[in-house]
Structure 1
Amino acid sequence: MKKNLLIIFALLLFKIATIHGQANNLNTDAKQKLNNLNQQYFIENKGQWPNEVLYLTQMSGLNTWITRKGIQLEFYKKEINNENVSKIDDCSKLEIIDCKFIGQRVNYDLVNCNSIVVAKGEMRQSAHKNFLIGNDQNKYATNVAIYGQVIVKDIYDGIDIRYYFENNFLKYDFIVHPWADANQIQINIVGSDKTYLNTKGELVLSTLFGEIQNANLYCYQQEDRRKVEGNFTNKSGNWSFDLETYDKSQTLIIDPLIYATYIGGSHYDEAYSIAVDASNNVYVSGFTYSSNFDITAGAFQTSRAGDWDIFVSKLNAGGTDLIYSTYIGGSGSDFAVSSAVDANNDLYITGYTSSTNYITTAGAFQTINNGGVDGFITKLNASGTALIYSTYIGGNNGDYSRAIAIDTSNNAYITGNTNSNNFVTSIGAFQNVYNGLEDIFVCKLNEAGNTLIYSTYIGSFNNEYGQSIALDNAGNAYITGWAHFGFITTPGAFQSTIGGGSDAIVVKLNSLGTALIYSTFIGGSGADAGFDIALDSSNNAYITGDTESSNFIVSPTAFQNNHEGSWTDAFVTKINALGNAIIYSTYLGGSGDDTSYSISVDSNENAYITGRTESTNFDITAGAFQTTKAAGRDVFASKLNATGSALLYSSYIGGNNNDVGLSLALDSSANAYLTGLTWSTDLYTSTGAFQTGNAGTRDLFVFKLDMIPNLSIIENFKNNLFSVFPNPSYGVYQIVFENTNMLALELEVYDITGKLVLNKQVSNKNDFYIDISKEASGMYLLKVKTNQAQQITRLIKL
């Protein structure tokens, strides 16, 4: 196993404030989209600025220009310059003649860097900008893209630089690739009043506007997580890095881990759900037996009331502190298993309780426990100090709410299973009668929590379980879980009959709760279960869970075609919006037992999955956070491309005992947040983490991962099948094959997100060209494969 070294040089500027848009012509919708992005984005240069500029990011009082040879920091402020003007503290309300502008520019010039570089904007945002400045329309730029991060390739030979935002700070990292010499990096800082190293070893720049502190270098080897010491040093007036000796023959990659922390008390603590708000604060919920679980001052409930109580903890964007943490519960046992956060940062949780005094609010839909175990829906305010509403939901027997989703009007949709024959249903509901041993239920509760908009059973004479729910923009609800013989399916469904003892199911219920749009089994001859469901923008449904079936449906280009586990493998299945066809379906697992519990989908239709694995040969990608299984059961975190044909990223996460991943959420930049259970006492935690050790028998964990594929490692896999000329190019490349007699030769080109943009069967191997000139500038992967070998090479399109 190769060792990997991470070199990060992080420039911390200022917390993001309001962006200045004087040069932009934006309509109301566009402005709203930009505001929703929290001003953390990079604007491409589409000709509106000089050619030296690659991207610009703006903050209050600071423009940061990313150029072909470094960074230019442009500080400014406006002051009133006319004593006759009445006291106004906003220069924008005055004439220019009444104001004076104060500014300072500081350049980070990269000495002897490459003159030709390729910049790639990543994580494109939904909004855009238009620049219509002056009378010269040749200088106008429209539909200018904005991105969540920027990578400038080969700023030095074998070294890239990445610009991004983290915890409301602007940062940049140097990424040192195999055999590259980190000593190439030299920075000439021009324009600061003073540049020096402080007592902490941080590089400090003094300006008229205050000091800029550049964080210490953070370096370590990937395989064993061994830290490699590194410091800033000044050589001949330029700033560079002094690193301890390391094996330069090994692969150098950037660390995907952003933060990791334990949360828990001295007893049992279990996290079953995670949610992320627009500011990247993280909400973790579950249940705890610990009487000393971390609770914040002013929290809604500061002490445990029963055996098991619910906890809700809101962790800040850096993973370093709790914004709030509270118990919720009565004198019995209370279990929260699913959550969702709305635009106001109010949190909705659902689960089930045996407490007859579970806290309900005045006017709630149901204020008493109707059976031994009832479901509940509780809405907690943004500060964690009060309940907005809280209600039971249930009948005369056991009712178990398993999942919740929120629409744009803050109506709550829940699903689960019930064996109550008087579970409340609405007039005109799809199914008003309890049919069997366990039936699925689906309910829609209004924003105030006092009225059911609809409620219905879904079930037969047998057992059925609703495990997860997702919503489309029309208010249709998609449910997955599992069912047995007799479950209702719709005409034309992908799989109308059960394949084995139990199968996974996908049900699409209309927005009124009155009819099934589609209902289908998914499964083979063994036991199959769906644990989570997610939707993309086209309303394709992604289902994950586990299967014992050796004949579970897989697609022709599936990443994994065969069941490999001793008992269960995980699976990921993508079904179309009509429910009548599989877009892709694949196993995911090794020789041990593997189960996937949670799935999320990004804007590029990549699927992110987490669960638990006992396999020592679970598929792990090069450069992953953890490449070998630690002990017992480990968490896995995997990213599957849009076609289900390849893993873009896959990693173990685990320590010296059992660890299980139970929930995964994505932020707007497609960072993955994971939570679950850990018995391990040595699970990795990041510097400054809120809690660095396991405080009890079983704690929960929160990991934030950047699951970007490590293209430098992918590129190193070569079998000398071909060469490419020219590279970089403007989109047309000549492929020169080393052996023109090779059989069964296929060529594929993927963009950096894993999307297939070109696919060809190669017949004329003597004079072959490919053309991707219509694609956006940036980096692509060219894969050529035969029946004996394959080669992957990076293409740069100018």
Structure 2
Amino acid sequence: MRFLFVVTCLLLLVPFALKAEIYNDQPANASIKFVKNLNQWDKNILFRANIPGGFLFIKSSSLHYVFYDTKAVSRIHAHTSEHSNAKQASNAPSSRQIQAHGFEVHFEGANRTPFMETSGESTDKKNFFLGNDPSRWASEVPGFNQITYKNIYPGIDLKLYTQHATLKYDFIVSPKADASKIKLRYEGADHIKLQEGFLQIQTSVNTVTETKPYSYQLLSGKQQQIPSEFTLQGNILRFDFPKGYDTSLPLVIDPVLVFSTYSGSFTDNWGFTATFDEAGNLYSGGIEFGNRFPATTGSFQFTFAGEIDVALLKYSPDGKRLLYATYLGGSATDLPHSMIVNANNELIVMGTTGSSNFPFSADAFDKSFNGGSKIEPLRTDPVNDGGITYEEGSDLFITKFNAAGNGLVGSSYVGGSGNDGINTINDLTRSYGDQFRGEVHIDESGNIYIASTTYSEDFPLINPAQGNLSGGQDAIVCKFNPSLSALLWSTYFGGSGADAASGVRVGKSGSIYIGGGTSSPDLQVQPNTIKPTFTDAEDGYIAKFTNNVLAASTYIGTNTNDIVALIDLDALENVYVMGITFGDYPLSGDVYNNPGSSQFIHAMSNDFTKTIFSTVIGSGRNTPDLSPTAFQVSNCGYIYLSGWGGLNGRDVSDMPTTSDALRRTTNSDDFYLMIMDTQAAAVLYGTYFGSTQGTNHVDGGTSRFDKKGIIYHAACACRDNSSFPTTPGAWSQRNNGNNTDITGTNDGCNNVAFKFDLDIAIDPPIELCYGENITLQAFGGIQYEWTPATGLSDPFAATPIASPDQTTTYTVSITDALGCVRQKSVRVEVSEPIPVDFDLTISSECGKPATVRFVNNSIEGDRILWILGNGDTLTSTPDSYNYDIKGGTYEVVLTVFKGLCKESLAKTIQVENNKPPPNVITPNGDQFNETFIAPNIGSKLEIYNRWGKPIYQSDSYQNTWGQEVPNGVYYYLITSPQGTRCKGWIHVLF
């Protein structure tokens, strides 16, 4: 199991196949970024930074701080996502107005146009499409870790930077410059005071503290602290140095800003939708608060809905890099519902907007906001409106970005004079976030399809299958050209009740399929379909359109309430649906099932007349456990699904899990992921996923599986900044949700993106000793491809020989005769190399066997074995060993055993013949004993007569001496090639 994560709240991306990645929109190690103003904000703002509980606006001669009541923002989300808790909601204060407060720090008497030096530019860039004035759009906007005002006062620089996620500033005073010139005038605070040397700035929403300044000079390369303190006269702050300082050296004045009431993340964002591209990049769509926040001084109020925009984040496949962040919206509420990426890596977003100035392209199909009546989709009682308000009604929007995310390919409103895109019928909103369902899809030509909901009697129609709004709320389906400049086809679908579309697919035949929920008893349903009759307050439905007309439709469900949440098509264009039921959903086929459960999966022919199979999965408690979030049928018929539970009275416990699950237990508030075999015959994988202490949910919208079974998921992780699983190197490994009070209670949420990659089958790991090999085996296909190819004899063989030098997981893609590809993985666990080393030293003495001394330098192992090369073996290391006096060539092998593995090292030694030579030779020509034979060829030989006179010498004696010398006794001195000396006498006889 491999997984990787980055946490940023509200958005969660997931791929499904034994690997998971999670992402956050701000890295924990550089959480405050100074983002340059390229005309996306008011011109007097040079840079802007998100800080705990607010924003910092950097101007040429001032720093402007604005803070807001983060607890009020937290309550909006808490009451919204937990609206089943009526008591909590009824006691909540109104979320219509949120208190905020700004104050400005002016540099009195300073340079009004200092040079702004930047450093630490971030690799990711931001794009802002805010409002419908293209001159105010900004692309490739950089952010920086540090900004320096050069010569803000004569000879004095001001440096702003982040240290340990804390905002810091330094005044750097050059030699001979006058530090008394620094004057900071505070405007807009309720009260400022000095308390025990600390500066406290009080506002209506928080207290900001500046710690006692730490000032220093460098003397001989070391910091020498200079006593310093604040002085405050009215609202003017200065720095004083009671003992003075050396004006010939630079001086650094270094206070620290502490936002004492708040800590953590820097903006609230909620997660709605996620998707992917073919390279495995992850796209998350949510809403982010505060991109257009005003730089105002004093106390003021604002509405949450008026400060939220669509936030679109693209991450690298490994989750370690944020590739871009793009912000989209107008002056009112804008929400993303669904996203998809086309073959050109262009992101397409469908959502709803209440903004009359939403960004649109020059050739957009519809450039006008049509609006409707005021709508509060998440209102739960007269007090709590849920924070999401469309004051002037809602339209759908579709926006298509270029591959870099820094330009619009197309963007258009879609709607009529009523509210569009928002499902507000209680019977059709059985799960939190159902208000913001609907889906965008594409065909092979790049045409764009959406399915959603409308209240508009004048919704734009082209060759409709149904030309009139039949009830108060109908489903709609539309087809646009790739540039969004033309509506190619659209229709209502509905009856006399309420209808909503939550999913759309386009078959290879060109037919369009939609699914959702209905309370209409009079849908245009054919009599021979699997459920031709409406039976209760609400049913699910599925409909098929071919050549602009309704080709087939059917109800889906039981005799109680049912809703189709998600749909997909298999390779044969059979239709699969997933939904929730409050009845006893019928089973069909030899399927895995959990009796009494309320999540159903139903597969049927594309004319809806034949059930292929149907089943239910869940806890068996006869109540829905999940809010469905993603659903797919792979090309080979495997069924992938995901959902979450924990709110709305739902409990995700007791879902089926498998032995190889990432998590088999839950705190009842988690995501759940499942793979089912073809025909729903078995559960291949089931796991929980999410925070073990906080809460997890989705705020609406679609997430997606790719055809490889990888899920890309949007989510919101709340109330805990550490227990949501993350992986090393992820963009952010913390929930930086900003709603943490001074007691340490974190109610904040942040956008999580997790990528979860699940192999369908994993063999038990194979243990392999270092240096060995093993034959891998696959079967059942006509083509095989193993990855990685490293260490394989043939990556395209069914049975390659694997010789990896480190632990490796090999995955084989097995293609069968029908072209379906299954993947199977096996982990080959390679033991660490066993270090083996030894030294040998040989000592020789003439007439005695050579002595070999052993030193075992190996530091690991359970046992050893010496093979000495002469037939002897030892199981321990001897101090010494005597070989035969005649010597010889021996291979000494040391083997070290560790567990089931072993490693050997061999060394060859030459042991010399230490036997003394014979002392008589007879060089008489009979070819026997003719010459003096030295023990070792190549020795140095010296021969002396009886008077000590040398008569023969050879530095490499070859056994040739002894002839043509007189009879008598001679004396020899032999020095062997290894230096052993041997001396004696030799008698020559004829």
- Scaled to the shorter chain, the TM-score interval is 0.5 to 0.7
Q: Distance in 2 between matches of 1:729 and 1:361?
A: 53
1:695 alignment partner AA: N
2:736 alignment partner AA: A
Q: Distance in 1 between matches of 2:327 and 2:366?
A: 21
Q: 1:678 aligns with which of 687, 709, 717?
A: 717
The answer to whether the Cα contact below 8 Å between 2:281 and 2:317 also exists between their aligned partners in 1 is: yes
The higher radius of gyration belongs to 2
Within 5 Å, give how 1:426-441 maps onto structure 2: 426=462, 428-441=463-476
Q: Distance in 2 between matches of 1:668 and 1:522?
A: 26
Q: Distance in 2 between matches of 1:532 and 1:290?
A: 32
1:412 CA drift (Å): 0.8
* CA displacement 1:30-56 (0-9 Å, x = unmatched): xxxxxxxxxxxxxxxxxxxxxxxxxxx
2:419 alignment partner AA: G
Corresponding residue of 1:700: 751
Distance 1:554 1:468, change over 3 A: same
1:387 alignment partner AA: L
Q: 1:558 aligns with which of 591, 594, 598?
A: 591
* CA displacement 1:382-409 (0-9 Å, x = unmatched): 1111111111000111100721111122
**1:579 aligned counterpart, secondary structure:** coil
2:400 alignment partner AA: K
Does residue 587 (structure 1) correspond to residue 616 (structure 2)? The answer is yes
Does residue 520 (structure 1) correspond to residue 554 (structure 2)? The answer is yes
Distance 1:687 1:292, change over 3 A: farther
Does residue 375 (structure 1) correspond to residue 403 (structure 2)? The answer is no
Q: Distance in 2 between matches of 1:322 and 1:587?
A: 39
1:646 CA drift (Å): 1.1
Does residue 666 (structure 1) correspond to residue 700 (structure 2)? The answer is no
Q: 1:533 aligns with which of 567, 573, 585?
A: 567
1:374 CA drift (Å): 0.5
Q: 2:644 aligns with which of 612, 616, 619?
A: 612
Corresponding residue of 1:388: 409
Which structure ranks higher in relative contact order (CA pairs < 8 Å, sequence separation ≥ 6)? 2
Corresponding residue of 1:333: 333
Q: 1:599 aligns with which of 606, 631, 634?
A: 631
- Greater displacement, 586-595 / 458-467: 586-595
Q: Distance in 1 between matches of 2:712 and 2:500?
A: 26
Corresponding residue of 2:670: 634
1:290 CA drift (Å): 5.3
Q: Distance in 1 between matches of 2:689 and 2:676?
A: 17
**1:521 aligned counterpart, secondary structure:** strand
Q: 1:422 aligns with which of 454, 458, 462?
A: 458
Corresponding residue of 2:496: 461
**1:686 aligned counterpart, secondary structure:** coil
Corresponding residue of 2:910: none
1:391 alignment partner AA: S
Q: Distance in 1 between matches of 2:585 and 2:717?
A: 30
**1:643 aligned counterpart, secondary structure:** helix
The answer to whether the Cα contact below 8 Å between 1:538 and 1:577 also exists between their aligned partners in 2 is: no
**1:498 aligned counterpart, secondary structure:** coil
Distance 1:499 1:330, change over 3 A: same
Q: Distance in 2 between matches of 1:409 and 1:558?
A: 37
1:709 CA drift (Å): 3.9
1:326 CA drift (Å): 1.1
Distance 1:778 1:308, change over 3 A: closer
Corresponding residue of 1:506: 542
Q: Distance in 2 between matches of 1:365 and 1:291?
A: 27
The answer to whether the Cα contact below 8 Å between 1:571 and 1:596 also exists between their aligned partners in 2 is: no
* CA displacement 1:481-540 (0-9 Å, x = unmatched): 111222221232111112322111111111x32x11210111012221112111111111
Does residue 574 (structure 1) correspond to residue 574 (structure 2)? The answer is no
1:373 CA drift (Å): 0.7
Q: Distance in 1 between matches of 2:726 and 2:460?
A: 46
1:776 CA drift (Å): 12
Aligned length: 453
Corresponding residue of 1:688: 729
The answer to whether the Cα contact below 8 Å between 2:311 and 2:326 also exists between their aligned partners in 1 is: yes
Q: Distance in 2 between matches of 1:730 and 1:406?
A: 36
Q: Distance in 1 between matches of 2:822 and 2:575?
A: 31
2:271 alignment partner AA: A
Within 5 Å, give how 1:12-23 maps onto structure 2: none
Does residue 544 (structure 1) correspond to residue 578 (structure 2)? The answer is yes
The answer to whether the Cα contact below 8 Å between 1:462 and 1:487 also exists between their aligned partners in 2 is: no
Q: Distance in 2 between matches of 1:478 and 1:530?
A: 13
Corresponding residue of 2:316: 316
**1:368 aligned counterpart, secondary structure:** coil
* CA displacement 1:388-445 (0-9 Å, x = unmatched): 111100011110072111112211111111111111111x320111111111111111
**1:400 aligned counterpart, secondary structure:** coil
* CA displacement 1:421-472 (0-9 Å, x = unmatched): 111111x320111111111111111122121111111111110001111111
Query: What is the percent sequence identity of the aligned residues?
Result: 27
Does residue 444 (structure 1) correspond to residue 479 (structure 2)? The answer is yes
Distance 1:389 1:561, change over 3 A: same
Does residue 649 (structure 1) correspond to residue 685 (structure 2)? The answer is yes
1:676 alignment partner AA: A
* CA displacement 1:217-266 (0-9 Å, x = unmatched): xxxxxxxxxxxxxxxxxxxxxxxxxxxxxxxxxxxxxxxxxxxxxxx954
**1:479 aligned counterpart, secondary structure:** strand
Corresponding residue of 1:115: none
Q: Distance in 2 between matches of 1:533 and 1:320?
A: 32
The answer to whether the Cα contact below 8 Å between 1:278 and 1:668 also exists between their aligned partners in 2 is: no
1:292 CA drift (Å): 10
1:730 CA drift (Å): 9.6
Q: Distance in 1 between matches of 2:673 and 2:482?
A: 34
Corresponding residue of 1:403: 439
Q: Distance in 2 between matches of 1:323 and 1:7?
A: 22
* CA displacement 1:314-349 (0-9 Å, x = unmatched): 111111111111110011000111011111111111
The answer to whether the Cα contact below 8 Å between 1:663 and 1:676 also exists between their aligned partners in 2 is: no
Q: Distance in 1 between matches of 2:506 and 2:459?
A: 23
The answer to whether the Cα contact below 8 Å between 1:611 and 1:660 also exists between their aligned partners in 2 is: no
Distance 1:353 1:729, change over 3 A: closer
Q: Distance in 2 between matches of 1:283 and 1:546?
A: 27
2:332 alignment partner AA: G
1:323 alignment partner AA: L
Within 5 Å, give how 1:17-166 maps onto structure 2: none
**1:382 aligned counterpart, secondary structure:** coil
1:627 CA drift (Å): 1.2
2:600 alignment partner AA: F
1:267 CA drift (Å): 4.4
1:489 alignment partner AA: V
Q: Distance in 1 between matches of 2:670 and 2:489?
A: 40
The answer to whether the Cα contact below 8 Å between 1:674 and 1:703 also exists between their aligned partners in 2 is: yes
The answer to whether the Cα contact below 8 Å between 1:400 and 1:416 also exists between their aligned partners in 2 is: yes
1:619 CA drift (Å): 0.5
- Greater displacement, 444-453 / 705-714: 705-714
Distance 1:345 1:689, change over 3 A: same
The answer to whether the Cα contact below 8 Å between 1:266 and 1:292 also exists between their aligned partners in 2 is: no
Taking structure 1 as the reference length, what is the TM-score of the superposition?
0.53
- Greater displacement, 449-458 / 592-601: 592-601
Distance 1:562 1:268, change over 3 A: farther
Q: Distance in 1 between matches of 2:314 and 2:484?
A: 22
RMSD: 3.3
1:307 CA drift (Å): 2.2
* CA displacement 1:125-161 (0-9 Å, x = unmatched): xxxxxxxxxxxxxxxxxxxxxxxxxxxxxxxxxxxxx
The answer to whether the Cα contact below 8 Å between 1:266 and 1:290 also exists between their aligned partners in 2 is: no
* CA displacement 1:248-298 (0-9 Å, x = unmatched): xxxxxxxxxxxxxxxx954442222222111111111122225599xxxxx
**1:480 aligned counterpart, secondary structure:** strand
Q: Distance in 2 between matches of 1:619 and 1:404?
A: 31
1:674 alignment partner AA: H
